Amino acid sequence: MDKIVITGGARLKGEVRISGAKNAALPIMAATLLTDKECIIDNVPNLHDVSTMARILRALGGRVSFSDKNNRLIILNKNLTSSDAPYEMVSTMRASICVLGPLLGRLGEATVSVPGGCVIGNRPIDLHLHGLRKLGADIKIEHGYVAAKAVKRLKGREIYLGGPFGSSVLATANVMMAAALARGETIIENAACEPEICDLAHFLNSMGANIHGIGSHVLSIKGVNKLHGAKYRIIPDRIEAGTFIIAGAITKGEVRIKNANPQHLMAVVNKVRQAGSRVDVKGRDICVRGGRQVLPTDVTTLSYPGFPTDLQAQMMSLLTLTRGISVITEKVYPDRFMHVAELNRMGSDVHLEKGSAIVKGVKNLSGAPIMASDLRASAALILAGLVAEGITEVRRVYHLDRGYDKLEQKFSLLGADIKRVKE
């Protein structure tokens, strides 16, 4: 098993290029199940989760090839041999639930293991099931599997997808994909409007789907009889870009982030500016110059366009070094604070209080052996290690490989003293 070893204190400086968005790539890969024609997808990050989704597609009978040289996926799901997504793959990655909708839409049946993924709190799939049932699917959960069947072709309906913590990204994706081949019009109210959902909708339209209202909370999907293949380029990963914005700020560095989409990151840019750093937008580049000191600011995670929950842990690492008190409130996954204990091992002063973290700034962090609990916590702990005094060893970095393409290599090119070693 690998670990990341960091000697803190280096000021990051230089340029970094952002990879394609993991959270767009996975549902788009699932959407290729809706057609028997070839799909070519560019700007795909080389990640463990992408490999897992490719294995799932192959298990269903698809052909998948990936070129790390040009980050291109070529997928052909011409002759699907199965509608069962196996437990050993689905259980490791939550986004694999996205094969449920397209399998149901194309084949009229699907059996998918209840998904796994990072341990960041309770994340039920009830909105997925509600939406697909409204389209006419008969769904049962038995022995850890979701078994769905449509006796007739799915039929468009008006569907409300609101949950206790707002709209659901993956439920919106699943219902939208199933509705693309349904009879009639489907209206999704309180749909997620994250950039990754917009990317999926644009990909589906490039395949011949008829989706309107993209980017809003009301989606209209007029079902078509058949979808064709497409060539498509995935958007940049806003979470990776946000991680590097915060990295520039926490190390008081000068970092130019290339191939980003600044419009997807305005909530993050605003908060990093409030925390004392200079952030300039120049076309598709974002330039960060860390401030002389970190200023306290309060953060509340919300659905897009609010501050993303996937950058909450990284922002906490930055705010541990303020001269004051910051409050971070988690409105998307209220239990997503497992990184707090590890940050406190490094000398931070953070305590939890009913869905919020009270962050009292400290003068400095100190390197320590620490353990990552999930994907974004891994990145947060690495950011803390970049500025900590001494050596930080981050274990369980297999979480990191699920969502960041060569992160330690990119940090190294910016001047960080960081390396991956075998334990």
Per-residue burial over 96-132, b if 16 or more Cβ lie within 10 Å, else e, is bbbbbbbbbbbebbbbbbbbebbebbebebebbbbbb
**Annotated catalytic residue: which of 118, 193, 198, 287?**
118
- Quote the strand ranges of 285-422, DSSP E: 285-289, 299-301, 325-330, 349-353, 356-360, 369-371, 391-395, 417-422
Sheet holding 299-301, edge to edge: 299-301, 325-330, 356-360, 349-353
Residues 6+ apart with CB under 8 A from 189: 158, 159, 160, 161, 162, 217, 218
Residues 6+ apart with CB under 8 A from 202: 214, 232
Cα distance between residue 78 and residue 396, in whole Å: 38
| Contact present, 360 and 323 (Cβ < 8 Å) | no
Cα distance between residue 198 and residue 196, in whole Å: 5
| Angle, CA 332 vertex, CA 259 and CA 138 arms, to 5° | 100
* Assigned token pair, 416: 């960080």
Is 118 a catalytic site residue? yes
Cα distance between residue 40 and residue 408, in whole Å: 28
CA distances in angstroms from 135 to 61, 109, 162, 177, 275, listed in the order given: 26, 13, 16, 11, 46
- Quote the strand ranges of 83-202, DSSP E: 84-85, 109-113, 138-142, 145-149, 158-160, 162-163, 166-167, 185-189
- Which of these, 141, 140, 138, lies nearest to 151 by C-alpha position? 138
Within 10 angstroms of residue 67's Cβ, the number of other Cβ atoms is 12
Within 10 angstroms of residue 353's Cβ, the number of other Cβ atoms is 9
Task: Provide the annotated active-site residues.
Answer: 118
